[in-house]
A and B are shown apart, each in its own frame.
Chain A
């Protein structure tokens, strides 16, 4: 029997810009055990809800993470809106949907770039981020921020997008779609890339169910569950099906995310075609009292937001279950038995967001 050695992975590691620490117990090349430790960037944002006016807390909620920031803010607002019985104007719902899908595009493109970087394909990484930059420009033009939008408020949106802007975006997305086809074919059809992805980190459907994983990580193992199908915001009016794959390995996860890119573009097209005219916000009165749980589909999977309000301007409790938090246990399990060189692929294909886990 060979001797065991422990290789520390992180908290600072080139494949992941965020701090997560793993102690990898190795027998030669093989990983036999993984001991994770998290908590490097815990900021106590959930506790802050007791000190901030519930209307201002949306600025804090959207700063939990820079990638899903729009959805964090939006879901917090939706939870409070439900408690207060506020019915959103339809245009606000469509705007939220459009920004959600743009966020998904930017998140998946960021992730594709990071994946390319992790298997050492620098120019592909740059191409992905070049395309992502176009989405960020759209964000800046429509909201004023590149990552943190600050357009959500309780009762609607702070900003509107006029029709010229929306159609301009759709046109730009058409061009982007062409570029994406070229780039994503490299991920899916290039033999060198495939050799790093295929057969790595295989997760069965049963295991996905047992570990309660979320998002593309789950859908790549053949479970067709997408929280957008609940029909929140304008998703009920749009026509789409969850994207799945049955292969369950790193390649399948890449494939699911790549196809979701095109799905998002399609959803934005549908939403822009259907968006009704009207106000984008309704005034709110009084303070919330009660509790509510909101589920949304973030780029990384299903996120759950719990809000408990006591009838004053400070809330009692705000709790977020982020998708990465649900995916980490399964990731740890998948790592056992694989080779050290496959660890970066495995970590990346769950698309981890450590800021989200630790809040």
Chain B
């Protein structure tokens, strides 16, 4: 009885295609909802720091003084909390996974200095995520 089961499985295995995907030759097909990695459209970002505060693994650093937004993709756990809480909706969850690499690199995005308005330069003190700005933005 059970021998017959194995024979059936054996024949099936001999004459069917592999179940596994032939990964490097055949690129991976992601599902529509796959949570792969985070991208930021830095032109829309207002550097409010909401994403950094809401991130459970502290993968994002926002530096208002330097006007930079930095993500450490190897710390990110793809939860989507930052995307959900971003007031400007400039973050997006992309389908492809973070590429493996020899070291845990960070990705730094720099927002260009504003052309016309000179006054934000007069705010020296806080470097990370001051709360009032987040409030005014939402």
Contacts and interface: CB of A to CB of B under 8 A. Distances in A.
Contact of A159 (B9, B19, B33, B77): B33
Interface string B70-84: 000000011111001
B112 to A, nearest CB: 31
A285 to B, nearest CB: 16
Interface in B58-90: 77-81, 84
Contact of A52 (B2, B34, B56, B80): B56
A145 interface: yes
B137 to A, nearest CB: 18
B5 interface: yes
B33 A189 contact: no
Contacts of B79: 59, 148, 150
B32 interface: yes
Contact of A189 (B2, B77, B80): B2
B31 A186 contact: no
A56 B19 contact: no
Contact of A190 (B2, B33, B78): B2
B54 interface: yes
Size class of the A contact interface (CB-based, 8 Å): 20 to 34
B115 interface: no
B9 A144 contact: no
Interface of A is mostly: helix
B5 A141 contact: no
B80 A56 contact: no
Contacts of A189: 1-2
Contacts of B34: 140, 144
29 contacts: A56-B56, A56-B81, A57-B56, A59-B79, A127-B9, A133-B19, A140-B31, A140-B33, A140-B34, A141-B31, A141-B32, A141-B33, A143-B33, A144-B33, A144-B35, A144-B80, A144-B93, A145-B35, A150-B35, A150-B78, A150-B79, A150-B80, A158-B80, A182-B5, A182-B9, A185-B5, A186-B5, A190-B2, A191-B2
